[in-house]
Amino acid sequence: MDQEQVVMEIIVNAGEARSLCFEALQQARKGEFEIARENIKRSRECINKAHLTQTQLIELDQGEGKVPMTLVMVHAQDHLMTTIVVQELATEMLEVHLKLDSQQREHDALVSKLQTVDV
C-alpha cells in the first residue's frame, strides 16, 4: 500500500468512526440505547482499523524520517486523534443519557405510585 492509500485509509476509517459516534449521540438522546451502543462499538472497530494503519506507518518510518511528512498526512493524523476524543466523549455522554433515563423512570414510577395512594 502506498503512502496515499495509507493516508486515505486512516481518514476514511476515522471519518466513519466520527459519524457513528454522532449517530450514537442522536440515538441516545432519543432513548435508543442499544442502537447507540452498537454504533459506539462499530466506531471503536473503525478507530482500531485506522490506528492499525497508523501503527504500520510508524513502523515503516522507524523514527528515521523514512516516510515523508505531507499536509494530508498531518490531516489524517489530526483526524484520527480528534475522532478518538469524540469517541471517548460520546461513550461518556451515552452513560450520562442512560443514567438520566434511569432516574427519569424511577421518578415516573414514584409519581405514579404516589398518585394511587389515598390521602
Q: How many residues are there in the chain?
A: 119
- DSSP-assigned states of every residue in 32-80: -HHHHHHHHHHHHHHHHHHHHHHHHHHHHHTTTT-SPP-HHHHHHHHHH
Q: Give me the residue label for grid cell 486515505.
A: 8
Q: Which of 75, 79, 97, 107 is catalytic?
A: 75
Active site residue 75: yes
Active site residues: 75
